[in-house]
Amino acid sequence: MIARSRIAVDIGGTFTDVTVMDVATGAVTFGKALSTPENLADGVFAAIERAGTAPSTAEFVIHGSTVAINAILERKGAQTALITTEGFRDVYEIGRINRPDSFNLFFRKHVPLVARDRVFEVSERMLHDGAVWKAFDEPGATTLAVDLVAAGIESVAIVFLHAYANVDHENRMREILLATDPQLFVTASHDVSREYREYERTSTTVANAYVGPRVSRYIEDLDQRLRAGAFAGELLIMQSSGGLCDVATAKSQCIQMLESGPAAGVVGASVLAAGLDTQDLICFDMGGTTAKACVLQDGIANLSPDFFVGGYNEGLAIRIPVLDIKEVGTGGGSIAWIDEAGGLHVGPQSAGASPGPACYGRGGTHPTVTDAHLVLGRLSPERFADGRLHLDAAAAERAIRTQIAEPLGIELAAAAEGIVAIATTQMAYAVRTVSTERGLDPRDFVLIAYGGAGPMQAVDVARELAVRDVVIPVAPGHFSAYGMLTADLRREYARTFVAPLKAATLAAAIAQRYDELAAEAAAWLASTGIVAADVTYERAADIRYHGQEHAVTIPIPTALDAPDAEQAIKAAFDAQYLQRYGHNAPEEPAEFVAARVSVVGTLNKPRPPMLLSGDSDPTEALIERRPVRFTAGAPVQTAIYDRARLNAGMTFAGPAMIEEPGSLTCVPPGVEVLVNPYGHLILTVEEA
């Protein structure tokens, strides 16, 4: 059978979304099924079936999953050991001793994925320049390998001091381990990070080893089940950097999948931005478990070299290239609860897909954000999820009344409004983290909202931030999966290289490092066997003022030997530093810390069709009118529209609710709606 489609799959904490694009026409169809945590692939195939297609029709299946992040958060990884340089056994447990909240009596430091009794030392030592200071102890390493296998260890992380400068000892340790037991999953630090900072490099390597067996088995199982269904194309995996990689890379560098779903949504937003009046967007993604925020400037998202699983205060440091996304534990399934002092909270605990919110009728008893929206009249019990999941309004009311309203001594509606208001505040905080804390004003941006629950809360979040314009894309509940269809092959390479920012250094040593990284990147792209329509190389550098500890990442021009290269790079660094921290020091000398190269293999992508113009009267799309609560006070009679029947050019004002199979858009009073030529909803918030 001739391949004629591309299938994208995004597994979330509550739902698994599938978007299918016809290669010839660009037309898309969608499928959604509840995620199946006990066997994620079951949910994948159920969603593909509901999209009305089969893997046999696809040239690409593109996949993003929460399996890696969940393995860390739930502490359900492999039996893992860490091997490090003699004398450095406690680097991982000590960490950075961060204490951001100095007066918090309940502060907890990070909890390592590998306990100290599974951290082992080998006699060897490299210097910072890669010179061997102490020879590798092969007999001791061999004995250790035998002991680890006998102890039932499944996965091993190897982190030797300064291995970013010389990989020989780590490679030899890996050879010994695999010779002892070829079934071991082994991660050497130089495979995931060629940058200095021993704790971050150790934490990243351990995390990859910890999730590696589970993730690689999942990817292999999914690939085999796809092949059993006559799939003859390429399985591609979404990475946290916003690019795609091949299966072989994903199975060895599983940690790159941590934020694959949120990254896909940002990539989709960057493509959508090209058709809007502005390319400065705040991406707001709210699903069933979490809400995410990211900023696009000129249609481009910042790439951060660091990520903290569980948050900066107590989380584990992961040093991989990841889109600068802030995540909070607030989604449609987030549980509302009251603390010992009588304070109302929402999340981070989630009802997930099983049992789900109380209104799902699957055994859940805790009140959630979704239950609150149902009590406020915003959701239709009969048409939720395209009618496949009937909502139990009585169960939602019972959960909120007994666990929130009665303990607080307030009315049911007030309790539901309080849950929604707290969720809105928490999500607005996520947006401020990637905007205000980066020196950006949210009022200068357009908010694009997606995810199954994003359009429901978008206007509330926009008002909290004083943002005037909101965009709800076509099929927002499947937008991250759609974003995967717009992504390209991509991989990042970085190398620690400390050198003064001088013209002579740029033209010689630094240029050589970029050439070496570009050669590695080109070799990887060739190894995938996938033909790209175009190949580009993006260069960046970590730069700091001389004497500082931390650096700022800026793009680097191609012509490092140009007469004004030094001045141009220094000026760009000073400007970025000023925006980030509110001050800079142009008169101070700067230095390179790391060179970065990203290779992008552009894939041919069909252009989505425009929405046909038709009747301009929105009442043609009217389903019903019903009372809905938007703010404190009496319910307001509200028009309920079917989004599938909205034509390009239609305009109307709130109050309104716009229903579609995977999501629902809330349009409070004082908001104007325009349907643009591509079917995206443009909301103008008068009281921003």
pLDDT digits (tens, 9 = 90+) for 325-334: 888 888 888 9
Please give the full DSSP string across 150-167, using - where no structure is assigned.
HTT--EEEEE-TTTTT--
pLDDT at 625: 94
- Mean pLDDT for 332-348 is 90
Q: Is 222 helix (H, G, I), strand (E, B) or coil?
A: helix
User: Angle CA(409)–CA(390)–CA(426) in degrees, nearest 5?
Assistant: 50
pLDDT at 616: 77
Q: What is the CA radius of gyration of the chain?
A: 26
pLDDT digits (tens, 9 = 90+) for 279-305: 899 999 998 888 889 999 988 888 888
- Tell me which residue of 519, 510, 501, 670 sits closest to 590, measured CA to CA: 501
pLDDT digits (tens, 9 = 90+) for 413-428: 999 999 999 999 999 9
Whether the predicted pLDDT of 590 surpasses 60: yes
> Which pair of structure tokens corresponds to residue 262?
């949120």
Please give the full DSSP string across 456-493, using - where no structure is assigned.
HHHHHHHHHHT--EEEE-SSGGGHHHHHHHT--EEEEE
pLDDT at 544: 96
Residue 606 confidence class, pLDDT cut points 50, 70, 90: low
Whether the predicted pLDDT of 363 surpasses 80: yes
pLDDT at 412: 95
pLDDT digits (tens, 9 = 90+) for 158-171: 999 999 999 999 99
Residue 613 confidence class, pLDDT cut points 50, 70, 90: low
> Which pair of structure tokens corresponds to residue 624?
């019903």
pLDDT at 1: 41
Measured distance CA(185)–CA(82) in Å, rounded: 12
pLDDT digits (tens, 9 = 90+) for 40-59: 888 899 999 998 888 998 99
